[in-house]
Chains A and B, each alone.
Chain A
């Protein structure tokens, strides 16, 4: 199982761009990188997934360098409602169920 390392916590202010980096040095060829978001008292929800280069959706962008040993989740212009725990997962999404959640990064957005 590919192991991931993320910062335990981050603070930001409303309107700023937030970048959360995840390290995954032993990522395998078939592995994808997936990010989830969890608000208090709720289960995690899928935000974004990518394999290489850049992926963007209405919520976030995901930047993956050529060596794929790390990835960065970018949240543009955060608001107080983006305060949550963000999880980076690495694994083969074809159904092998080898993706694992770590401890995540607790993002606190301040006014």
Chain B
């Protein structure tokens, strides 16, 4: 089974802090994704990565950056956390071109609260 793990289930930070959210997958997937999920808005794509050192902006990249130094690890960085970044953050990975599915496998999520 594919396993996607996220470094923390719950995180509390203060406004202005630099925040790192880590995601690791164990299936050698090339694609990795970061989403945030807010009530009534569903999942919104922040950034994704096709391969090591590759990154693409999603729909809401402002205030975030990412790092992919190793294939299995994709980090989301909040350079200066703000209260409007309080949210559930979900990481996912997929293997492109795997038949027709390109199924995304999700981690359990990190609930971040910025005070």
Binding site for B on A (CB under 8 A): 32, 34, 36, 41-46, 49, 51, 87, 93-95, 97, 99-104
Question: Measured between C-beta atoms, what is the minimum distance from B84 to chain A in Å?
Answer: 19
Question: Which applies to chain A's interface (DSSP): helix, strand, loop or mixed?
Answer: loop
A99 to B105, CA, bound (A): 14
Please provide the 5 A-B residue pairs with the shortest distance between their CB atoms, ordered closest to farther.
A43-B106, A95-B96, A93-B102, A101-B43, A103-B42
Range of interface residues on B (Cβ < 8 Å): 20 to 34
A15 to B42, CA, bound (A): 28
A102 to B33, CA, bound (A): 16
Given A43-B90, A46-B101, does the pair A97, B56 have CB atoms closer than 8 Å? Answer: yes
Residue of A whose beta carbon sits closest to that of B99: A93
Cross-interface CB contact of B96 among A36, A42, A49, A94, cutoff 8 Å: A94
Residue of B whose beta carbon sits closest to that of A94: B97
